[in-house]
Amino acid sequence: MKVILLGSDHLYQMLGMSEPEFEHLFRIRADFDDEMDLEPASIKDFAGVVAFIARNEKLTPLSAGAVAALAEQAVRMASRRDRLSTQFNSIADYARQAAYWAGCESSSLVEAGHVRKAILEKRARLSMRQEYALNSIDRGEILIDTSGSRVGLVNGLVVLGGVDYTFGLPMRVTARVSAGREGLIDIEREADLSGAIHTKGVLIITGFLRGRFARDFPLSLSASICIEQSYGGVEGDSASCAELYALLSALSEIPLRQDLAVTGSVNQYGEVQPIGGVNYKVEGFYNVCRRRGLTGTQGVLIPASNVDSLQLDDDVVEAVERDMFHIYPISTVDEGIELLTGVPAGVPDSPGGLFPAGSVNGRAEAALRRMAEILRNFSREVGGI
């Protein structure tokens, strides 16, 4: 008798550590990827598996368009435009549901429209939490602006949901600043709501501020950053760009556009790094804007390195094509702050020199210098008493 076990790598490692004989009993291990490259050969294999499922389960035959629609969904599930998901249990579910809708129309073939209907119907069945959140935004219970400009406040983006259903939502990210020695205070961390990766992202922002502005004077700053109306745990660094923009706005006193939302992580050199769930996040802000009415100025800033991950819903793509909604790929913090403020970020007049006075960086630097001077004078006064 041969015994074959299927499971996750994490489970394999746990069994190996808890039972010394496990690796001796199961000597041969093979890793299986849940994605494959998107290329002609893999598309052919994908179509073959779908056809096998249809024959094996006696489903209505699928047209080429239906197979293509399933492949599009597999690309979305893989979160990369050059990859296909191999989670065929989920693909088979969509094929079964599409066949049901084809039967309702007495169609001899499952068409692309039936696949799209199956996808939309599944979302409708599982979207109660999303609808509740969107209704809360509509009623003003969750505070989100999609027009105007505010100082120290920007729309961040989060991904919520579980195994069966995932969705994105905008959430306010705010910053307040003053002279002091406390540095950057992460309110989520102080409230024990922050995970280790989110805390690391906040510390990276402090490193960015020191490296960019405090080369010849001490960073004498007390600042708090907060993801507003977040009452559960916060994990991940995908809000670090938004947190930095809110902080730069608070320092420079230059308002940020509220018709834009931001996602992306940042490193100490101000480079914008890729994040997960980019499709859900873009669609999350789009849904809020759509319900309020698209203005033609709204959009989302995403990391340029996430462009290959975009596989957006048809209505979002259509809105972008009509120039009613926008997606801005950015590679640096400076690119993003210029989009959010309409003010030049500013480049030093020489290596290690000063930033232009009217630029975002120049005004932030001037504010930090004033804070250092305030603290220096205060320390002298206290010391002289």
Give the pLDDT confidence of 346-370 residue by residue, as tens digits. Answer: 998 887 788 999 999 999 999 999 9
Nearest to 35 by CA among 68, 77, 67, 4: 77
How far is Cα 84 from Cα 74, in angstroms, rounded to an integer? 5
- 2 band by pLDDT with thresholds 50, 70 and 90: confident
Catalytic residue, candidates 63, 238, 252, 309: 238
pLDDT of residue 299: 98
CATH 3.60.21.10 fits 149-374, yes or no: no
Rounded mean pLDDT, 6-21: 85
**Residue-averaged pLDDT of the chain:** 90
Is there a contact between 199 and 239 (Cβ–Cβ < 8 Å)? Answer: no
Task: Give how far the C-alpha of residue 289 lies from the chain's centroid of Cα atoms, to the nearest Å.
Answer: 17
pLDDT category of residue 380 using cuts at 50, 70 and 90: confident
pLDDT tens per residue across span 60-87: 999 999 999 999 999 988 888 888 998 8
At residue 7, the pLDDT reads 83
Lowest mean pLDDT among 21-35, 332-346, 349-363, 365-379: 21-35
Predicted confidence (pLDDT) per residue in 183-195, tens digit: 887 777 777 777 8
pLDDT at residue 385, as a whole number: 44
Q: What pLDDT does 383 receive?
A: 62
* pLDDT for the residue numbered 219: 84
Mean pLDDT of 50-57: 93
Over residues 94-118, mean pLDDT: 94
Burial class (CB in 10 A: 0-12, 13-18, 19+), 87: middle
Lowest pLDDT segment from 15-29, 91-105, 286-300: 15-29
In whole angstroms, give the CA distance from residue 277 to residue 275.
Answer: 7
Range in 32-36, 52-56, 267-271 the model is least confident about? 32-36
Higher pLDDT, 78 or 23: 78
Instruction: Decide if 238 is catalytic.
Output: yes
Residue 326's pLDDT is what? 98
pLDDT at 317: 95
With H, G, I as helix, E, B as strand and everything else as coil, classify residue 178: strand
Respond yes or no: is residue 117 known to be catalytic: no
Q: What is the pTM for the complete model shown? A: 0.86
Q: What is the mean pLDDT of residues 221-243?
A: 85
Residue bearing the bigger pLDDT, 179 or 301:
301
Residue of 230, 281, 309, 359 marked active site: 281
Residue 303 clears pLDDT 60, i.e. is over it: yes
Expressed in angstroms, the distance from the first to the final Cα of the chain is: 88
Delimiting residues of CATH 1.10.8.60 domain(s) in the chain: 35-142
Q: H helices within the chain, ranges in order?
A: 9-18, 22-25, 40-56, 64-78, 88-104, 112-126, 128-138, 187-190, 196-213, 240-252, 278-292, 314-321, 333-341, 360-384
Instruction: Give the residue range(s) of CATH 3.30.230.10 domains in the chain.
Output: 149-374
Could you tell me the fold of the domain covering 35-142?
Helicase, Ruva Protein; domain 3 (1.10.8)
Q: Are 299 and 260 in contact (CB under 8 A)?
A: yes
Residue 188, pLDDT score: 79
If you average pLDDT over residues 236-243, what whole number do you get?
88
Check whether 1 has a pLDDT greater than 60. Answer: yes
3-state secondary structure of 308: helix
The model's pLDDT over 201-228, given as tens digits with 9 standing for 90+, comes to 888 999 999 989 888 888 888 899 998 9
Cα–Cα distance measured from residue 48 to residue 50, given in angstroms and rounded to the nearest whole number: 5
